[in-house]
């Protein structure tokens, strides 16, 4: 699942150089990663692609969260998570009162970005904090060249807990 069209990749890179906010839904993170636009950014994709994307693009800071907004980049797992991300943007731009009103009209409840994708949750039998799930994902994605505890904590922006 990759985008090799040089014209598309060139266009994406140009958009990135202009400082535009750029995002992806689901597997759309692949072309952004291929264009180098997610290097050293926190991001997500559909849970089925998380490990493969991390392995192919090790500079990504991947998360199993529903959606991630990091500076001028955003990504979400896809499906109904797009709605959660859009409600987040409405809340950021126009306040939570309007975001709740829009949510009511859509007959839904906006989930926070920190919620974990359901598919990623199926891998566990007990509750596990998102940062621990993300650490496991990083370890699974780097089996051939294991990361140190310090590297994992640095990538996740958390304490190594020593």
CA 145 to chain CA mean position, Å: 23
**pLDDT, tens digit (0-9, with 9 covering 90-100), for 69-85:** 999 999 999 999 999 99
Domain coordinates in residue numbering, the chain: 6-78+115-156
Q: CB under 8 Å, gap of 24 or more: what pairs does 81-89 form?
A: 81/25, 81/111, 81/117, 82/25, 83/108, 83/110, 84/110, 84/111, 84/112, 84/113, 84/115, 85/23, 85/113, 88/112, 88/113
Strand partners, 65: 116
CB count, 10 Å around CB of 125? 6
Higher-confidence position of 22 and 139? 22
Fold of 6-78+115-156: Rossmann fold (3.40.50)
- pLDDT surpassing 80 at residue 33: yes
Predicted model pTM: 0.73
For the chain, what is the radius of gyration of the CA atoms?
Answer: 16
């Amino acid at each position: 699942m990759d985008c090799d069209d040089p014209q598309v990749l060139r266009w994406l890179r140009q958009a990135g150089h202009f400082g535009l906010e750029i995002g992806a839904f689901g597997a759309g993170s692949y072309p952004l990663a291929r264009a180098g636009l997610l290097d050293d950014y926190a991001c997500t994709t559909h849970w089925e692609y998380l490990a493969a994307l991390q392995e192919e693009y090790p500079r990504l800071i991947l998360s199993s969260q529903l959606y991630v907004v990091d500076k001028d980049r955003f990504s979400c797992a896809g499906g109904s998570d797009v709605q959660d991300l859009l409600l987040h943007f409405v809340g950021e731009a126009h306040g939570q009162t309007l975001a709740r009103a829009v949510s009511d009209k859509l007959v839904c409840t906006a989930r926070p970005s920190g919620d974990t994708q359901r598919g990623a949750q199926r891998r566990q039998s007990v509750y596990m904090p998102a940062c621990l799930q993300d650490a496991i994902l990083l370890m699974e994605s780097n089996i051939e060249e294991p990361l140190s505890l310090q590297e994992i904590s640095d990538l996740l922006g958390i304490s190594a807990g020593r």
